[in-house]
Amino acid sequence: MDVVAKPEVIESIQERGGALYVWPSKARCCGGTIQLEASTERPDKAFRRVNVRGIELYVTVGLKPPESLHLELGRRGHIRAFWNGLAWIP
């Protein structure tokens, strides 16, 4: 899996310990589509590590990683994850 992120996103993750956790979540709108959530704090879920450069990336067990995971900094420094550049999981 390729991680697509600007240097400031990687730096933000590293400043918070270097680990990023990514998991699917049902959206409250948009017909219940599935989107990705991301946090540098581990939620109470089972994760497995995915080898990528620059950060420790963990995805929930059972989630097939996308070809590319796009990371951005949102409001207040919140890290946002996009499945193959999309806001939802197809």
- Rg (C-alpha) for the chain, rounded Å, is 12
How many domains does the chain contain in total?
Answer: 1
Higher pLDDT among residues 30 and 67, named by residue: 67
- Domain hosting residue 40, numbered range: 2-83
Distance CA 58, CA 20 (A): 6
| CATH code: domain of residue 25 | 2.60.300
Distance CA 59, CA 49 (A): 7
What distance lies between CA 8 and its chain's CA centroid?
Answer: 15
89 within domain boundaries: no
90 within domain boundaries: no
88 within domain boundaries: no
22 within domain boundaries: yes
pLDDT in tens, 36-73: 899 999 999 999 999 888 899 999 998 888 899 999 99
Helix (H/G/I), strand (E/B), else coil: 31? helix
